[in-house]
Every structure is written in structure tokens, then in C-alpha cells.
Amino acid sequence: MREITPSIDFDKRLAGEDLAGSRAHVRMLASEGIVAKEDASAILLGLEQIEREIADGKFVFKRELEDIHLNIEARLTEIIGPAAGRLHTARSRNDQVVTDFRLWVRAACERADHGLLQLSRALLTQAELHAATIMPGYTHMQPAQPVTFGHHLMAYVEMFARDRGRFEDARKRLNESPLGAAALAGTSFPIDRDVTAMSLGFSRPMRNSMDAISARDFALEYLAACTISAVNLSRLAGELVQWSMPAFGFVKLSDAFTTGSSIMPQKRNPDAAELIRGKTGRVLGDFVSLATVVKGLVLTFGSDLQEDKERVFDAADTIEISLAAMAAMIADLTADPAKMRAAAEPGFTTATDLADWVVRVLKKPFREAHHIAGSIVKRAEEAGVTLDKLPLAEMQAIEPAITDGVFSVLSLDASVNSRMSLGGTAPARVKEQIRLWRERLK
């Protein structure tokens, strides 16, 4: 029991939140006349001393006292004597711990949002530099149509904006105070839960004491947001790994974010990106672990819930360092526009533009135009040239009505510039989106 019971090794991270909750609680007790004002003053002074001791690294955390709550209460008793025992009036460790935990997760949502904001700004800066830099866009990992590097990066700005929305939603939903629910049934003392909720920055008290004690869906929702964000980070990390391969050469990652080989001196390994990609499984594991803990618990409290904090702490540490590393990598990378453009040349990536031209100019149904374009692609492939280099006579042998006007749409630049539909890759549209997001991310 001495080994399995203590949580102080990890829940000491809740010290700041525990002190904040205790201050709000004792002030309310004093204002309602439940605790004498002189006792409340002594408790507040004692809590201030404990805060300084923790900040200075002088506080001694004792495993025999199990958790952060009993460690602080025991030290408070050493400082001010028996009056310390009045702090626990009208509350339980049950509502105390979940109040601390909600405060901690609320701050974690805000840190994740900040990390995503910094990453989005780094992506915007690179996108602005490369709004017109042509690269191949892929489907099925095959060259599909030319796009711009800026457009590609802006896709991640959109993606990470949704991640920010998930953390914001999670924060809004968790921002209700369980303090005052006591062990599970509320308390007979005439407490004012609105006062403590307001003092701690919660929007309101939770309305059901049993739900207040037992609910951990706020932690699950935070972990779900972390998991989705980690998945999105992994996708970008995978692209950085791919783009930095010599076979692609689209980007160069600096020595700050790569490592060498122990025996191959020429290597530049994209370790930071690979580590971010690998940490996705860790964050997902944290979500699955807590969901598994909670799924069988009847109302209200069981010591199983002691397992909630390590999973959340681990996911928070993981997502925060991943976001910081990714933002720094994006800001630091150097793109190679020449290699990107060269990679967009093969694969007949303007074939759709050819089909569209046949529809628009020759008034053919798209399915017929698709067949004509496919036949011309085959002819170009046999001739070993790109579509814009295939002689007009070769195209006319397949469709006599084709004119030399077709060449106006077959270059990479013409293809990209023509994609002016909302959300398209045309540089003008990309710059428009960059301006919009610059304003949103101020």
C-alpha cells in the first residue's frame, strides 16, 4: 500500500492550482462566517509561505502523505498550528482534486492554443514567401496537378485552426467549478459556490454534485484534442521527412533540427520531424488509457481516477514540445523552388487543364474531353515530352478541332494561375488567404 497509494510524485504539479483553490475556499468561508476571519488570515499567510517554499525549491514533498493536498495541509499545520484544520471545512479531497485538475487542464488548453498560434504564424511566413512557388500536388502519392508551396502550407494553417477550435471548445466546456460538491452530495454548510467559481475564473458552479465529483470527460476531451492535433502534426512531420529526402530535395532542414549518423558522415537525419511523428502514438495511448479507466466507473469517486493525471500530464508535455519544435522547424527551413518546379514537370500534371480546355473551347462533354486528354497524354508519353512540348499536329491527329490556343493552358504557370476558384491554388488566391489569416492571427 505504501508503494501503490501515493500520487505525490506526479500530482505535485498541481501545487499552484491547489493553493489557488484553497485561497478561494477559505476566503469564501470567512465571508460567509463559517470560519473566523483571524483563522482565515492565518491560513492565507501560511499558504503564501508554502507558495514561496515551493517556488524556491525548499518545500519537502513527503510520499507518506500520499498527495499534494495532504502535503500542503500538513505543512500549513506546521506553520500556523491547529487553525490549519479549518481550511478543510465544507470540502473534501474529492472536490478539491477535481477543482485543481480542471484548473490545470484549462491552462493546458491555453498553452496548446498558444503553441498552435505560433506554428500557424510560422507557416504563414513561409507561405507568404512561396505563394507562387510551383510544386507538384499529389493524390495517391502520384503527381496530380501543379500547386504552389504556399497553398500547400496554407492547408496546414486551416488544419491547425480547427485544432485551436477544439482546444477552445474543450476549455469552454470544462470551465465550471466542482468546488463545494464536497465528497459527492454537497455540504450542509451555507457556502457560496458562485463566489468560489468566480474567484477561480470559472464561468459557473457545476449543477450536480455527483457529476462534479465523477466527471472526467473534460480530461478526455482535452486528450482527444491533443490526439487530433498530434495526428495533424504527424502528417506535416511526414511531409518534412519526405521533402527533405535527396530524391525530393524540396526543403532543407538546418543542423539545428537534424542529426548526423554515427558511421555515415554524409547523413542529415530529420530527427525532430521523425520524433514528432512518433509521438502521435504516445498521445493516442494517453487518450485510450484514460478512456479505459473511466468507462467502467459507477458514480461517483473511485481511486481509479488517480490514473487520470499522469496520462494528461504526459499528453500535455508531448503536444507542447511537439508544437514548439514544429514551429521552430517551419520557421527555420529553406525551400528549393527549382527542385519543386522540376518535380512538377514530369507526370503530365496539366492534363486536367487540357481536358478543361477541350470542354470550354470545343464544347465537348467532360467525359469525352477526359478521353481525348488521356489519348494525348499517351502520345506525349510515347514521344518522351511534356504536354506543352508535344507538337500541335500530334494532338490534332487525335482531335482535329484542337488549335494552337491549347498551349496557353498547358504550362505549369498557366495551370496554377488559372485555379482562381475560392480555395484554389492560384497565387492571387493564396495571397488573399494569407491576408485573411494574418488578420485573424494578430
| Residue 25 annotated among the catalytic residues of the structure | no
CB-CB contact of 269 with 260 (8 Å):
yes
Using CA atoms, how far residue 409 sits from 357, 404, 414, in Å, is 7, 10, 5
Q: What is the pLDDT, as a whole number, of residue 411?
A: 92
Q: Tell me the H-state helices in 56-192.
A: 68-80, 93-129, 149-174
| Distance in angstroms (rounded) separating the CA atoms of residues 388 and 346 | 11
Q: What is the pLDDT, as a whole number, of residue 257?
A: 86
The residue to which cell 469564501 is assigned? 28
pLDDT in tens, 14-68: 999 999 999 999 999 999 999 999 999 999 999 999 999 999 999 999 999 999 9
pLDDT in tens, 74-89: 999 999 999 999 999 9
Q: What is the pLDDT, as a whole number, of residue 263?
A: 77
| Distance in angstroms (rounded) separating the CA atoms of residues 27 and 42 | 11
| Distance in angstroms (rounded) separating the CA atoms of residues 83 and 85 | 5
Q: What is the pLDDT, as a whole number, of residue 262?
A: 74
Catalytic hit among 31, 203, 254, 261: 261
Cis peptide before 292 (omega within 30 of 0): no
- Report helix angle 217-243 to 271-294, nearest 10: 160
Q: What is the pLDDT, as a whole number, of residue 268?
A: 81
Q: What is the pLDDT, as a whole number, of residue 292?
A: 97
| Residue 140 annotated among the catalytic residues of the structure | yes
CB-CB contact of 120 with 321 (8 Å):
no
225: Cβ contacts below 8 Å, ≥ 6 apart: 109, 112, 163, 166, 167, 169, 170
pLDDT in tens, 370-401: 999 999 999 999 999 989 999 999 999 999 99
Helix (H) or strand (E) holding 314: helix 308-332
What are the grid coordinates assigned to 355, written together?
Answer: 481536358
Alpha carbons within 13 A on the beta-carbon side of 118: 16
410: Cβ contacts below 8 Å, ≥ 6 apart: 350, 353, 354, 386, 387, 388
| Distance in angstroms (rounded) separating the CA atoms of residues 194 and 201 | 11
Is residue 258's pLDDT more than 90? no
Share above pLDDT 90 across residues of the chain, in percent, rounded to a whole number:
94
What are the grid coordinates assigned to 217, written together?
Answer: 470527460
Catalytic hit among 140, 188, 262, 303: 140
CB-CB contact of 360 with 342 (8 Å):
no
Round the average pLDDT of the chain to a whole number and report it.
96
Using CA atoms, how far residue 87 sits from 28, 39, 47, 100, 337, in Å, is 11, 9, 11, 15, 65
Q: Does the CA dihedral 71-77-80-86 come out positive or negative?
A: positive
